[in-house]
Chain A
Amino acid sequence: MLKSTFVGKSVPRKEALSKITGAAKYIDDLSFPGMIHGVTVRSPVARGRLKKISFEGDLPWNEITQVTAKDIPGENCVAVILKEQPMLVDGMINHPEEPIVLLAHPDRALLEKARKNVKFEIEALPSVLSIDDALSKKAVVWGSDNILKSYLVEKGDISQAFAEADLIVEGEYTTGAQEQLYIEPNGMIAVANPKDGVTVWGSLQCPFYVHKALKTLFGLPDDKIRVIQVETGGGFGGKEDYPSLIAGHAALLAWKSGRPVKIIYDRAEDMAATTKRHPSRTRHKTAVTKEGKILGMDIDFVLDGGAYLTLSSVVLSRGTIHAPGPYVVPHVRIKSAAVATNTPPHGAFRGFGAPQSIFALERHLDVVAARLGLSPEEIRRRNFIHQGQQTATSQTIKEPVDFDKLMDRAFEMSHYHSKIKRFEIENKTSPIKKGIGFAAFMHGSGFTGSGEVYLASVAGVEATSEGRIRVLASSTEIGQGKNTVFAQIVADALCVDVGLVDVAQPDTSVVPNSGPTVASRTTSVVGKLVEDAAKGLQATLRQSGFLGESYTSAQFQEACLVYLEKFGSLKTLSQYKAPPGIFWDDEKYRGDAYGTFAWAVYVAEVSVDTRTFEVKVDDFVAVQEIGRVVNPLLAQGQIEGGVIQALGYAIYENVIWKDGRMANNRMTNYIIPTTMDVPRVQVHFEEVPYAYGAAGSKGIGELPMDGPAPAVINAIAHATGGDFKHIPLMPEDLMRILT
């Protein structure tokens, strides 16, 4: 009998062959009989009142399906957390690129002309385009104060920390927006009519989010809405909430035209209109003793949410909880807010608020260390959190955590100490200044606070008539390896060959709601449900007497078939239960923020050319403890990809805003690093199995986005002696600050 054979091995990616041979069908590869194309006509202004829409030019308007807000059968909203964002503008325009009119026609070239000939009469209104403008109420564009959401986290008494401190260090840090740049731009196909209801196929992360949005938009019952995820070319969080809009738009056009409608965004539209990482501003006031013990952290954390709340409250929540980092601090106060501005709403993006607040903290701690005359290493070693100690939300860390060991390993792999000595000598005579820096950080696995309890996710497994096992979950494959990892977990739970396990295509009419594919939760949290369901199925087979204590894969298949013949179906579902002893207080924002955390120390080595102020990252070491590694190659890929994406965030990717709109929405002028710009990334995993994660795993997907930016900027500061407080740090900024 097979026992723990596949978890821990680099089992090849399930859909690898179809992807590399081009057989995999993405949304734009699909076509339906009678299908027509849809386009979106968007707001040219940041804020205003829509007075009139006119359809001009010499065009066959009677042939073109036109949809406006008045054509919506149900509620005109994108139902996510609130229902505040309209599916189509009805009166008020709140950001550039806001959808106003939808058009559909078989001829795409004609549609392009038509799009340009829809004219709007708009009474422009004052807009708010930055965090500062929002806080100073330059105009009030949301509620009474432009505050979308705010939190207060308190531990101990911050005034006591300031009273006892030998030194108080203040600093303000800001981060820019970041474009998602998944490989495949957004797209949807919809079939919709009053008789059959609404069905959509699309590139998306969260089938049941789209389901909820369509249900509300059309006022239809659950069973009249069906959402199917097709092969998806990456998401990063960018396909968490925005696909609900595109699905809604395609469905409205299909409903009105009576034909299947496809909407595919091109890269320019995707970049200009869809969600990006929230820009942020963090103010730190840190109380320390002479010896480098942190007594108190007073943190003011603000995110620019864009024009609507969408997911900003939960992004803010994660950013807030991660703001004090992996340190034990007796007195903490975190005041945080997401503010409204008249830019397209910022959304979920790998890291989900944590990269912003972790950048601020890990940059700030280097500054605090310098003021104390301590090394960056020493201040962290003196304050790292350990098992049994409490975080800022008063969560007691129950699992072992050994940051000193992670740091030792990272410094050994990067030759940190010897390089510091070497660079000090070499930098004296070279125009190329070398530096090395690091960041220590964590990322909470799964939804924040009581999120997983509210979600109450369900996943399952079933035996098929071919005697195979099929995993049932709404979790989506978006390139991260979900199909493969689920198959490994189930194969090991059932003690069968991994080739016997299939993973169902997420289709809301077939799979249970295992929650969204976000928050580094799929392997660890949903995988656990799948694992438990598999064990339940095995128990059922044993209880039925068809399966012995020990069996081969063939005997297992045989047992499934016999069971099916006798009972008709063999399916087991499992629902989320919080690990024991987990408590969260939503009111006080206190308690167990996450079931567990992944812990990491990342080291970056850089060269700064003082003639051109170009920065090159020469080497990168990523050491992390992520519970048990289910698939080493996929895990390494996640880390490498995340690190590179975060290097882009740190020193390349600069969203240029003009009146609330992205001005550089092209791949020629929004610069992401290419393979020529990225270093070798050395990845090392410490494995400490987590009792409540599938096969001992923790979350991993977002972790590598959190640490690289502060590590790289700390390295640039080490190389040049400059004080850098903003990312992206562009050569132009470096020149200004250093000269």
Chain B
Amino acid sequence: MKTNAAEFDLRTPATLGEALALLGEPQGKWRPFAGGTDLMVLLESGNLMHKNFVNLRGFKELRGIEVSPQFVVLGALTTFSAIQENELIKKEFPCLVQAAAQVGAIAIQNRGTIGGNIGNASPAADSPPALLIYDAEIELMSTSGARWVSYDSFHTGYKKTLLGAGELISKIRLPRTTRASGRTVHYFRKVGARKAQAISKVSVAGWAHVEKGVIKEVRLALGSVAPTVVRGKNTENLLKGKVLSPALYEEARSILGGEISPISDIRSTDVYRKRIAQNLLSEFLEHVGLDQ
């Protein structure tokens, strides 16, 4: 290990209030430590520059999945394993379960948290595209209270978020939507360098409500194709209210290509990422178009 563990301060406060107080100290001296699965990679390689962390793992109030008629609410410390085991999430938000199953390996899924996955703000994170298509909202908490924001607005730039000084992601909620008629389509696919233990090269999540062949509602989200995870809103706008046709497929692919900005890096190329994002959009639309 290239890091001297003695240089780090990891505090475990007795209460969430104390934890929030520490996080509220000036200059962002303290940062949250949830599952630690992203931080440990940096620690091992000697690249974890921040030294002071608040351990949140003991706080039950940040854990667990609650269901109301309107929402499924996940505590920020909910692990990817817990998400996969929840029957309601499996039924109503299957893409989130699929994404959770694609995170790292089982050991990582047992420890890694949904709040951490959001807060780490990687454009390659596995769960955010699924959260975006389900119109997730997140609760940000600090010593001065809590506020709900739409997850769609949360990521403001590469590794930049709406989190204010002293704020912590405390909850994530997914609105439960039922449609009286028609059918809904859920689509998720992650393309990594191998089947497991891989960081995504590109990932696509899609949700659509189709009635009599008309796309009534559609949401599309992508990972690893821009500085943040992104919604494909121009593509959504094109598709909304339309009946699928070969021409529409082609137009949608072209519009998607114009609204993402993938890069070439150590994992893949911009050309590949763009092309595969378009191909996965086509695959999603094939699902949308089935059984009309």
Identity of the chain A residue whose Cβ is nearest the Cβ of B2 in the assembled complex: A112
Are B199 and A668 in contact, with the CB atoms below 8 A?
Answer: yes
- Tell me how far the C-beta of B271 lies from the nearest C-beta in chain A, rounded to whole angstroms: 8
Which of B176-184, B189-197, B236-244 forms part of the interface with chain A? B189-197
Segment of A147-155, A170-178, A327-335, A669-677 engaged in the interface with chain B: A669-677
Check if B49 is an interface residue, CB within 8 A of chain A: no
| Residue A266 lies at the interface, judged by CB distance under 8 Å to chain B | yes
User: Is B194 a contact partner of A673 (Cβ separation < 8 A)?
Assistant: yes
- Residues of chain B within 8 A (CB-CB) of A1 are none
* Interface presence of A124 (CB below 8 A): no
Tell me the complex Cα distance, A673–B4, Å.
31
Contact of A669 among B4, B46, B267, B276 (CB under 8 A): B267
8 A Cβ contacts from B34-50 to A: 41, 45-46
The verdict on A453 contacting chain B, using a C-beta distance below 8 Å, is: no
B269 and A612 contacting across the interface, CB-CB below 8 Å = no
A731 within 8 A of B: yes
A656 to B193: give the CA distance in the assembly, Å. 14
Number of interface residues of B (CB under 8 A): 30
- Whether the pair B4, A112 counts as a contact (CB closer than 8 A) is yes
A268 in the interface, Cβ–Cβ < 8 Å?
yes
Q: What sequence of 0s and 1s flags, for each residue 29-55 of chain A, a beta carbon within 8 Å of any chain B beta carbon?
A: 000000000000000000000000000
Chain A residues with CB under 8 A of B290: none
Q: Is B46's CB under 8 angstroms from A112's CB? A: yes
Cβ–Cβ < 8 Å partners of A555 in chain B: none
Cβ contacts under 8 Å, A671 to chain B: 193-194, 198
Q: Are A109 and B6 in contact (CB under 8 A)?
A: yes
Known: A109-B6, A268-B45. A612 touches B280 (CB 8 A): yes
Query: In the complex the two chains form, what is the Cα distance from A671 to B191 in whole Å?
Result: 14
Closest to B199 in A: A668
Question: Is A656 a contact partner of B2 (Cβ separation < 8 A)?
Answer: no
- B5, closest chain A residue (CB): A109
Contact A677-B266, Cβ < 8 Å, known A266-B1, A612-B280, A731-B272:
no
Which of A108, A611, A613, A677 is in CB contact (< 8 Å) with B282?
A: A611
CB-CB under 8 A for A652 and B275, given A109-B4, A266-B1, A669-B267: no
Closest to A676 in B: B195
Q: A109-B6, A112-B46 are in contact. Are A612 and B191 (CB under 8 A)?
A: yes
Closest-by-CB residue of A relative to B283 is: A611
Cα(A612)–Cα(B195), bound, Å: 13
Point out the residues of chain B lying under 8 angstroms from A266, CB to CB: 1-2
The complex places the Cα of A613 from the Cα of B196 at a distance, in Å, of 17
A19 interfacial contact with B, CB 8 Å: no
A652 touches B4 (CB 8 A): no
| Distance A14 CA – B197 CA, assembled complex (angstroms) | 33
- Residues of chain B within 8 A of A669, CB atoms compared: 199, 266-267
Chain A residues with CB below 8 A from B3, complex form? 112
- Which residue from chain A places its CB closest to the CB of B282 in the assembled complex? A611
Contacts of A677 in B (CB 8 A): 194-196
Q: Secondary structure at chain A's binding surface: helix, strand, loop or mixed?
A: loop
Contacts of A666 in B (CB 8 A): 45
| A612 x B276 contact (CB < 8 A) | yes
Contact of A656 among B198, B266, B271, B276 (CB under 8 A): B266
Instruction: Give the residues from 717 to 739 in chain A that come closer than 8 angstroms, CB to CB, to chain B.
Output: 731-732, 735-736, 739
Could you tell me if B195 and A674 are in contact, using CB atoms closer than 8 angstroms?
A: yes
Residues of A contacting B7 with CB < 8 Å? 109
Cβ of A629 to closest chain B Cβ, rounded Å: 32
User: With an 8 A cutoff between CB atoms, is A614 at the interface?
Assistant: yes
Report A-chain residues with C-beta under 8 Å of the C-beta of B1.
Answer: 266
Per-position contact with A for B1-26: 1 when CB-CB < 8 Å, else 0? 11110110000000000000000000
**Which residues of chain A in 61-114 are interfacial with respect to chain B, using CB atoms and an 8 Å cutoff?**
108-109, 112
Taking the closest CB of chain A, its distance from the CB of B224, in whole angstroms, is 13
Contact of A674 among B194, B272, B276 (CB under 8 A): B194
CA–CA, A611 to B198, complex, Å?
A: 19
Contacts of B283 in A (CB 8 A): 611
- Expressed in whole angstroms, the minimum distance between the Cβ of B123 and any Cβ of chain A is 16
On whether the beta carbons of B196 and A676 are closer than 8 Å, the reply is yes
Answer yes or no: B143 CB below 8 A from chain A CBs: no
A473 to B189, CA, bound (A): 54
Contact B193 A735 (CB under 8 A): no
CB pair A732 B268 closer than 8 Å = yes
Q: A109-B4, A109-B6, A112-B46 are in contact. Are A663 and B193 (CB under 8 A)?
A: no
Using CB atoms, name the residue of chain B closest to A669.
B266
CA distance A112 to B197 in the complex (A): 29
Whether the Cβ atoms of A735 and B275 lie closer than 8 Å is yes
Whether a CB of chain A sits under 8 angstroms from the CB of B279 is: yes
- Bitwise, B195-213 to A at CB < 8 A (1) or not (0) is 1111100000000000000
- A664 interface contact, C-beta 8 A: yes
B187 vs chain A, min Cβ distance (A): 12
A268 CB contacts on chain B under 8 angstroms: 2, 45
Interfacial chain A residues near B194, Cβ < 8 Å:
652, 671, 673-674, 676-677
Q: Which residues of B contact A731 (CB under 8 A)?
A: 191, 272
Within 8 Å by CB of A611, from B6, B45, B46, B279, lies: B279
In the docked arrangement, what's the CA distance between A666 and B193, Å? 14
Cα(A735)–Cα(B202), bound, Å: 15
Q: Which of A683-739 contact B (CB under 8 A)?
A: 731-732, 735-736, 739
Q: Give the residues in chain A near B271, CB-CB below 8 Å.
A: 732, 735-736
B42 to nearest A CB, angstroms? 11
Contact partners of B2 in chain A: CB under 8 A: 112, 266, 268
A336 to chain B, nearest CB (A): 33
Most buried by A among B3, B6, B41, B191: B191
Residues of B within 8 A of A732 (CB): 268-269, 271-272
| B269: A residues at CB distance < 8 A | 732
Q: Which residues of A contact B189 (CB under 8 A)?
A: 612
Are the C-beta atoms of A614 and B198 separated by less than 8 Å?
Answer: no
Inter-subunit contact B266/A664 (CB<8 Å): yes
| Chain A residues with CB below 8 A from B267, complex form | 669
Q: Which residue of B lies closest to A113 (CB)?
A: B4
- Bound: A737/B20 CA distance, A: 54
Instruction: Give, as a whole number of angstroms, the nearest-CB distance from A731 to chain B.
Output: 7
Measured between C-beta atoms, what is the minimum distance from A616 to chain B in Å?
Answer: 8
Q: Report the bound CA distance from A184 to B269 in whole Å.
A: 32
Q: Kindly state the separation between the CA atoms of A108 and B4 in the bound complex, as whole angstroms.
A: 8
Known: A664-B266, A668-B41, A732-B269. A652 touches B193 (CB 8 A): yes
Q: Which residues of the other chain, A, contact B45 by a CB distance below 8 angstroms?
A: 268, 666
CA distance A677 to B7 in the complex (A): 39
Minimum C-beta distance from A490 to chain B (A)? 42
Closest CB-CB distance, A671 to chain B, in whole Å? Answer: 4
Tell me, in angstroms, the Cα distance from A735 to B278 when the chains sit together.
13
With known contacts A268-B45, A668-B199, A663–B266 Cβ distance under 8 A: yes
Provide the residues of chain B in CB contact with A611, threshold 8 Å: 276, 279-280, 282-283
Lowest 3 A-B CB distances belong to which pairs? A109-B4, A676-B195, A611-B279
Give the B-binding residues of A (Cβ under 8 A).
108-109, 112, 266, 268, 611-614, 652, 656, 663-664, 666, 668-669, 671, 673-674, 676-677, 731-732, 735-736, 739
21 contacts between A and B (CB under 8 A): A109-B4, A112-B2, A112-B4, A611-B279, A611-B283, A612-B191, A612-B279, A613-B272, A663-B266, A664-B266, A666-B45, A669-B266, A671-B194, A671-B198, A673-B194, A676-B194, A677-B195, A731-B272, A735-B271, A736-B271, A739-B275
